[in-house]
């Protein structure tokens, strides 16, 4: 799909939901990664940039003790070295019983600073929607207590 967007000269900017820069972790949270592993994704992104000369956005939700370590930041920096990107770090909004928790603010800052030291463009997106249990495109119906 990414190569097709490049070939079709799509004018819109696109954002890629990455959330892990290693296949083992990414397989756990993004099942389509098993069909299209990071190696194929990297090739498609290189093609996109070569063809369009455009920078795209990497969306990366930080999950406590899953993908928020300096090692994970190192993996992300290595993944991003082949093309210009903007990285949006997103705080996780717990919704339902997903099994993940919000990353500690100190870890988020360290993660961001590590990436910035690698000369990457990084933004910390403000967390919104926690009050309505919104989490990366999901809305969870909360029961009203009588």
Give the tens place of pLDDT for each residue, 47-58: 999 999 999 999
Give the tens place of pLDDT for each residue, 91-101: 998 876 668 99
Three-state DSSP state, 60: strand
Q: How are beta strands 15-17 and 56-62 bridged, if at all?
A: parallel
Domains of the chain plus CATH, in order, are 2-139 (3.20.20.70)
Which of 64-68, 102-106, 130-134 is predicted least confidently?
Answer: 130-134
Q: How are beta strands 85-91 and 15-17 bridged, if at all?
A: unpaired
pTM: 0.84
Burial of 110 (0-12, 13-18, 19+ CB in 10 A): middle
| Spatial distance between the Cα atoms of 114 and 87, rounded to a whole number of angstroms | 12
Q: What length does the chain have?
A: 146
């Amino acid at each position: 799909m990414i190569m097709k967007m490049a070939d079709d000269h799509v004018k819109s900017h696109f954002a890629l939901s990455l959330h892990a820069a290693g296949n083992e972790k990414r397989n756990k949270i993004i099942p389509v990664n098993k069909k299209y592993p990071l190696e194929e994704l990297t090739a498609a992104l290189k093609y996109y940039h070569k063809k369009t000369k455009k920078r795209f956005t990497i969306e990366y939700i930080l999950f406590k003790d899953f993908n928020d370590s300096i090692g994970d930041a190192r993996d992300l920096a290595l993944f991003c070295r082949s093309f210009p990107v903007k990285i949006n770090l997103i705080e996780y909004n717990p919704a339902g019983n997903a099994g993940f928790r919000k990353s500690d603010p100190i870890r988020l800052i360290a993660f961001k600073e590590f990436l910035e030291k690698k000369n990457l463009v990084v933004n910390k997106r403000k967390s919104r929607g926690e009050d309505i249990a919104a989490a990366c495109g999901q809305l969870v119906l909360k029961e009203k207590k009588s």
